[in-house]
Amino acid sequence: MILVLRALGVGDLLTAVPAIRGLSAAFYGEPLALAAPLWLTPLIDLIGGVGRIVPTDGLSLHRWNVPPPRLAVNLHGRGPESHRLLHAAAPGTLWAFANAEADHLDGPEWVEEEHEVLRWCRLLRHYGVEADESDLALAVPPSTVPHGVTIIHPGAKSPSRRWPVDRFADVARHLRWAGHQVVITGSAAERDLRVRVAERAGLPPSAVPGTGLADLAALVAHARLVISGDTGIAHLATAYGTPSVTLFGPMSPARWGPPDRPYHRPIWHGTRSERGDLPGPDVHPALLAIGADEVLAAAADLTGAPASS
């Protein structure tokens, strides 16, 4: 068995898709188990090649409910916690970035500014496994969601990556005026945020649908446009080739942005010195520098709709 660790969220999972597929192809016929949060199962099922999900949320040491794997692969981080967690599974071999603190020197060096997709593909190449960085597509799940909607996703896990509600509402209002069918998406915990955006934009309650992960993936796959911050839904837009406008703050698009394709528009006004390694709890200055008019212009460029009323 091959055990792969990626115990993170939606965007993190999707940036590891090329590496997961590279491992699945390299060890075809051998069971591949992915250690990841169980709630990500609807998206993991869309990747293909994963035979088993091992519920893992975070890096706390625990007893693995799997036989000792022939190979463990750390697609989670640089270590040492993630390295030690995989060592606890008693693998025959560990593939991971070099980390002296975890007593693992058999791996490439970590490059902090490297794009997340390229990072994991480079790790595999160090061990002789090829992975295609462009292989980001997901299967489309069956669903009865509406087609052709414009998605506005105001939430993000970190407050520093959330564009102000009033600016999202301005964008939603203008796009509705321009003929877009606008929906406001997010998690159940973000419902109040979504309702505030919809109400300030003058949208009906039906514009705030309840969607699980599979339905959200289908909604993005069939959408006209996705507008969001630097969060998981932006990676779904990449996976389905759906036109997107992504607003970046603490992190540069060079680290987490979409591929250089004409139907994606990353917007960022930050610099390395402004970012820092530990963004604070408030909205990041680089994100605040983005105005509604700039987002509407990018949307108009992608869809041909008027930029403002």
Q: What CATH number did the domain enclosing 229 receive?
A: 3.40.50.2000
Question: Is there a domain that residue 173 lies in?
Answer: yes
pLDDT of residue 235 exceeding 80, the answer is yes
Task: Give the pLDDT score at 280.
Answer: 44
Per-residue pLDDT band for 274 (boundaries 50, 70, 90) equals very low
State the Cα–Cα distance between residues 300 and 129, nearest whole angstrom: 41
Do 115 and 170 fall within a single domain?
no
With contact defined as beta carbons under 8 Å apart, do 223 and 190 qualify? no
Do 174 and 212 fall within a single domain?
yes
Per-residue pLDDT band for 307 (boundaries 50, 70, 90) equals low
With contact defined as beta carbons under 8 Å apart, do 263 and 302 qualify? yes
Do 155 and 299 fall within a single domain?
yes
pLDDT of residue 50 exceeding 60, the answer is yes
Structure tokens given for 97? 């970035």
pLDDT tens digits along 76-128? 999 999 999 999 999 999 999 999 999 999 999 999 999 999 999 999 999 99
State the Cα–Cα distance between residues 57 and 37, nearest whole angstrom: 5
Do 185 and 55 fall within a single domain?
no
pLDDT of residue 281 exceeding 80, the answer is no
Task: Give the pLDDT score at 161.
Answer: 87
Per-residue pLDDT, averaged over 179-198, amounts to 94
Question: Is there a domain that residue 308 lies in?
Answer: no
Do 167 and 58 fall within a single domain?
no
Task: Give the pLDDT score at 60.
Answer: 85
Task: Give the pLDDT score at 144.
Answer: 93
Task: Give the pLDDT score at 304.
Answer: 79
pLDDT tens digits along 129-149? 999 999 999 999 999 999 999
Do 290 and 195 fall within a single domain?
yes
How many Å is the maximal CA-CA distance in the chain? 63
**Domain end: 93, 111, 126, which one?**
126
Question: Is there a domain that residue 138 lies in?
Answer: no
**Domain end: 126, 142, 175, which one?**
126
State the Cα–Cα distance between residues 229 and 288, nearest whole angstrom: 12
Q: For the chain, what's the residue count?
A: 309
pLDDT of residue 306 exceeding 80, the answer is no
Please give the model's pTM, rounded to 2 decimal places: 0.92
Among 2-16, 74-88, 126-140, 258-272, where is mean pLDDT lowest? 258-272
Per-residue pLDDT band for 201 (boundaries 50, 70, 90) equals very high
Structure tokens given for 48? 């293909």
pLDDT tens digits along 146-160? 999 999 999 988 888
Do 82 and 211 fall within a single domain?
no
The one-character DSSP state at 178 is: T
Do 122 and 159 fall within a single domain?
no
**Domain end: 74, 94, 126, which one?**
126
Question: Is there a domain that residue 261 lies in?
Answer: yes
> How many structural domains compose the chain?
2
Question: Is there a domain that residue 247 lies in?
Answer: yes
Question: Is there a domain that residue 243 lies in?
Answer: yes
Where do runs of H (alpha helix) occur along 68-190?
Answer: 81-87, 116-126, 165-177
The whole-chain average pLDDT of the chain stands at 92
Among 252-256, 280-284, 293-297, where is mean pLDDT lowest? 280-284
Do 165 and 243 fall within a single domain?
yes
Do 249 and 109 fall within a single domain?
no
pLDDT of residue 275 exceeding 50, the answer is no
Do 206 and 96 fall within a single domain?
no
Sheet holding 225-229, edge to edge: 182-184, 150-153, 225-229, 244-247, 264-267
- Long-range (24+ apart) CB contacts under 8 A made by 300-308 are 300/178, 301/265, 302/225, 302/243, 302/245, 302/263, 302/265, 303/150, 303/180, 303/224, 303/225, 303/243, 305/175, 305/178, 305/179, 305/180, 306/177, 306/178, 307/174, 308/174
Higher pLDDT, 86 or 60: 86
Task: Give the pLDDT score at 58.
Answer: 84
Range of the domain at 281: 150-303
Question: Is there a domain that residue 134 lies in?
Answer: no
Per-residue pLDDT, averaged over 195-222, amounts to 95
DSSP 155-218: --SSGGG---HHHHHHHHHHHHHTT--EEE---GGGHHHHHHHHHHHT--GGGS----HHHHHH
Question: Is there a domain that residue 133 lies in?
Answer: no
Per-residue pLDDT band for 250 (boundaries 50, 70, 90) equals confident
Sorted by sequence, the CB contacts under 8 Å of residue 7 that are 6+ apart come out as 35, 36, 37, 56, 57, 58, 59, 76
Do 110 and 170 fall within a single domain?
no
